[in-house]
Amino acid sequence: MLKELTEWNYFDSYYFQKLNKLSESEAKRNISHLKQLQEIRDYKIKQERQRQEEQERKRKDISISINELKEIFLNLFSGKDQNGKEINAQRRGYLFEEFLKKLFLNEGIEVTEPFKIVGEQIDGSIKYDGEHYIIEAKWHDKWSASDSLYQFAAKVEGKMYGRGVFISINGFSPDSVQALTTGKALRTILLDGGDLVPITEGMYTLREMLDNKIKAAQTMGRIYVDSTNLADKVIRQ
């Protein structure tokens, strides 16, 4: 029907000229406007299809088994790359980001590359369940303290409907988590190595973990929980 309307070119003289109840020029303007709307819609559909195809291509390009992901993860804990070569802290941080990217894409979660905006470095972002989350990933030899969390929280709060996922391999100090949540809007969920290990072991999926984390934040006000034991309310705080 839409195709027929946009291609309409017959204007019966009886109604348009003789009775003068309809305006041919107005009808043509409306048809032209409808064509423009259709073109805009078709362009957006094409863009979305291309975006989905690109995500699928990326996923296939890095398609990797859970056992391979587990091996990469264990090597990082040993301070080695995928080839068993010793790596420094900076290199390990970079490889950790690459590991997370593969983990997300492996489950069909849309990922963007790291990017910079004025005064900020963003490790990347994901689109999950229709929402965009900016990502920060840290591989430190001790838990992440307040400074890192505050800086990340400021990045999240500076975005429209901002949400964030902060991943610290060795967790977070209890004081920093409490300070981040007391009297503040909850826009960030926290992950650590304990959340990632069961995923690499195939005990549950990344999507299941994120669902549990988000549910805990939205229903219990908890941003740092043991996502495998939410039914028993085992909270790390």
Q: Which helix (H) or strand (E) holds 136?
A: strand 131-138
The amino acid sitting at 71 is: E
Q: Is the dihedral of CA 67, 71, 72, 74 positive or negative?
A: positive
Q: Residue 216, exposed/middle/buried by CB under 10 A (0-12, 13-18, 19+)?
A: buried
pLDDT digits (tens, 9 = 90+) for 24-34: 677 677 777 77
Identify the CA nearest to 134 among candidates 105, 159, 98, 108.
Answer: 159
Q: Which helix (H) or strand (E) holds 24?
A: helix 24-61
88-99 mean pLDDT: 90
pLDDT digits (tens, 9 = 90+) for 146-188: 778 888 888 888 787 789 999 999 888 888 888 888 767 788 9
pTM of the complete model = 0.68
Q: Using an 8 Å Cβ cutoff, are 6 and 37 in contact?
A: no
